[in-house]
Amino acid sequence: MASISVQNLTYRFDNGDTLFSDLTFTLDDKITGLVGRNGAGKSILAALLTGEKTPYSGSVSTFCRVGGLRQIGAEEKLVQYETVSDFLGVRAKLEALSRVAAGGCDPHDFELIGDSWLLREELEQQLLALGLPVDPFLPCQALSGGQLTRLALHQLFQSDYGYLILDEPGNHLDEQGKHWLIEQMRRFHGGVLIISHDRDILRCVDDILELNSLGVRHYGGAYDIYAEQRANELASQERRIDHAKTQIKQMRQTMQRNREKAQQRAGQGKQVARSGSQAKVLLNSKKQDAERAGGARESNQNRQMAQVQDQLSKLNKQHEMLKQQSLSLGKTEKRVSRILDITELRLPYIQQENDITFSVDFGEKIRLSGANGSGKSTLLKAIASRLSPLQGDIQVRAGLCYLDQHFTLLDSAKSAQENLAHFCPHLSETDQRTLLAGIGLRRERADQAVATLSGGEKMKVAMLAISHQPGDTLLLLDEPDNHLDLDSRLMLAQALRDFTGSLLVVSHDQDFIADIGVSGEISLDSSV
C-alpha cells in the first residue's frame, strides 16, 4: 500500500525557471534511495513531500504521518541550536521539570510537562546508548555533525511516524554511524526515502529513484543493480546514437546522389530539346513531372531526416544524463623522495593515548581512518599550519594543498578563471581557459563567480588548480566527497587515482577510498 502518492508534480522558482515537471510516482513501506546530480532538486523534492514547500502544480498525497531530516550544516549546528535540548526541541520541558523538582507550582509548567515526567531520565538513557555525553544542556558546539545527526535520527526512528524522508544523513556519519543508520532503517516499522550518494547506504535499499532534468526514473533493486542497469542503458543509447548518425549520413548521401541524377537528367533533357527530336510540349510535361517527383522525394527525405535528427537530439539529452563525466589532471614533478615527516605529535582538543609518528613518500596515497572525534581533520589542519600542535614536529618538503568538503581552497567571490590564474600564474590565460573548457566551463561560464557553481564544478576547478602547480604537491583531502553526487564522486576518485603526487585523505566512503587506490592506511583510533 502506498504511503505517499505524487501526481504530475511541478516546481518552479520565483524567477519562473522550472526545476522539474510532471513527476509521478508512489512510495510504499520500503527503503527507497533517491539519487541525482547536484542541482537536480532532490532536497526540494524532499521538502515538497514533507509539506515544507508548495509545488507550482500537481499534488502530494500522504496516507500516514511523514517525518523528515534535513541536511545538518555547520552553520545550523552552531547558530540555530544552543544546546542538545534545543536541538531536540525539549529544552522548555526539561526546564519546567527542573522548576517543579525545585518546588515550583506554576500551572503552566505542569501543562508543559504533560505526561513527560521521565523525559530527562529517558533522554539521558538515549544519549548513553548513542555514546554521547549524558548532558541534555551540553552546547551543540561540543558535538560533531555526526553526533548531532545520529541524535536526530534516533528521535525519528523512535517516533510514531509512518514514513521518514532523510536528506543525506550519511554525510556526517563515520563507518560505525553508517552501519547504525542502515540497521535502524531496516528495523523501522514504516517506509523510508533516503537521499544519499554513499554506495554502502544505497546497497541496503530496496529500490532507487533517479531524479534529473528529464523527470524521475525508477530502478528496481539496490545500488549494484542500479549501476548495472544504468550501464546497460548507456551502452544501448550509444548504439542507438551511432545508428542515428549513420542513418543521417546515409540520407544525406542519398539526397546528394538524387540531386546529381536530377541535374544529369535535366542536362539530357536540354540536349534533346536542342536536337528537336521530341515535341516541346512533351518535353515540358516530362520536365514538370520529373520536378514534381523529385520535389516530393526530397520533401519526404527531409521529413525522415528531421525525425531522425529529433530522435538523435533526445538520445543525446538522455546520454548526457547517464554518461560518466571525466577530469584530466596535470602531472606532479618528483623533486624529493620523502614528502612528509611527523614525529611524536600531540594534537589539541583530542584525548590521545599515544603520540602520532609517520612519514609519507612521493607518490604515496594514504588514508587517515578513525571514528568521529579521533582527530583526523585536526591532524590535517596541523599539517596545513591551520592550527598548532601541542607537541611534536611536522616537516613538509613539498607544496601543500588543503581540500575540504566545501572547497574553501577557492575564492568563492572570484571566477573560475581568476582562481586558476591565482594558483597557476605560470599558465597563460589561453591555457587556463582551455583547461576550464575541458571541464565544461566555457566562455562566460568560466567568468562566473565560483559561488554560483555546483559542488561538482567547484571540485573540478579545485583539482585543476592543484594538479597544474609546478613542483611536488602534498594533497590534504578532508572528506572532499561529502557533498558530491555519485557521478562527481566517481570522477574525483578517478582523478585522484591518476594524480601522480602524494596525498592524505579522510573519507568514510569505502568505495571512494577503493576507487582512489590508496597505498596505505593510518588509523588514529590507536592514538586516542
The x, y and z cell numbers of residue 388, run together, are 598548532
Burial class (CB in 10 A: 0-12, 13-18, 19+), 62: middle
pLDDT of residue 60: 97
Which amino acid appears at position 236 of this protein? S
Nearest to 14 by CA among 44, 51, 59, 40: 44
68 close to 50: Cβ distance less than 8 angstroms: yes
H or E element, residue 113: helix 107-113
pLDDT of residue 74: 44
pLDDT of residue 284: 57
The DSSP result for 392-427, as a single string, is: EEEEE-SEEEEEETT-TTS-TTSBHHHHHHHH-TTS
CATH 2.10.240.10 matches 338-527: no
Phi and psi, residue 56, nearest 5°: -70, -40
SS (H, E, C) 148-190: HHHHHHHHHHCCCCCEEEEECHHHHCCHHHHHHHHHHHHHCCC
C-alpha to C-alpha distance for 178 and 175, rounded to whole angstroms: 5
Please give the chain's pLDDT, 528 residues, in tens. Answer: 789 999 999 999 998 999 999 999 999 999 999 999 888 899 999 999 999 999 999 999 999 999 998 866 544 544 467 888 988 889 999 999 999 999 999 999 999 999 999 999 999 998 888 878 899 998 887 777 778 888 889 889 988 999 999 999 988 788 888 999 999 999 999 999 999 999 999 999 999 999 988 899 999 999 999 999 998 988 888 888 888 888 888 888 888 887 777 777 666 555 655 555 555 555 555 556 555 665 677 778 778 878 888 888 877 777 666 666 667 666 676 777 899 999 999 998 887 888 999 999 999 999 999 887 788 989 999 999 999 999 999 999 988 888 887 788 899 999 999 999 999 999 999 999 988 988 878 888 899 999 988 777 888 898 888 888 777 789 999 988 887 888 888 888 988 898 888 999 999 899 999 999 999 999 987 654
Fold for the domain defined by 2-82+139-221: Rossmann fold (3.40.50)
pLDDT of residue 277: 53
Which amino acid appears at position 475 of this protein? L
The DSSP result for 452-486, as a single string, is: GS-HHHHHHHHHHHHHTSSS-EEEEEESTTTT--H
| CA 74, chain centre distance (Å) | 18
Dihedral angle sign, alpha carbons of residues 468, 471, 472, 474:
negative
CA atoms within 13 A of residue 283's CA, in its CB half-sphere: 16
Contacts with 107 (C-beta within 8 Å, 6 or more apart), sequence order: none
Q: At what angle do helices 455-467 and 429-438 cross, to 10 degrees?
A: 140
- The SS3 of residue 265 is helix
C-alpha to C-alpha distance for 114 and 494, rounded to whole angstroms: 56
Q: Please name the residue ranges forming H helices in 276-384.
A: 280-322, 376-383
The x, y and z cell numbers of residue 318, run together, are 538522455
CA atoms within 13 A of residue 49's CA, in its CB half-sphere: 31
| Model pTM score | 0.76
Residues in the chain: 528
pLDDT of residue 36: 92
pLDDT of residue 349: 80
C-alpha to C-alpha distance for 520 and 528, rounded to whole angstroms: 20
- The SS3 of residue 122 is helix
The x, y and z cell numbers of residue 385, run together, are 599550519
71 close to 32: Cβ distance less than 8 angstroms: no
24 close to 13: Cβ distance less than 8 angstroms: no
Burial 122-157 (b: 16+ CB within 10 A, else e): ebeebbeebebeeebebebeebbbbbbbbbbbbbbb
Q: Could you tell me which residues are beta bridge partners of residue 219?
A: 208
pLDDT of residue 82: 83
C-alpha to C-alpha distance for 194 and 156, rounded to whole angstroms: 13
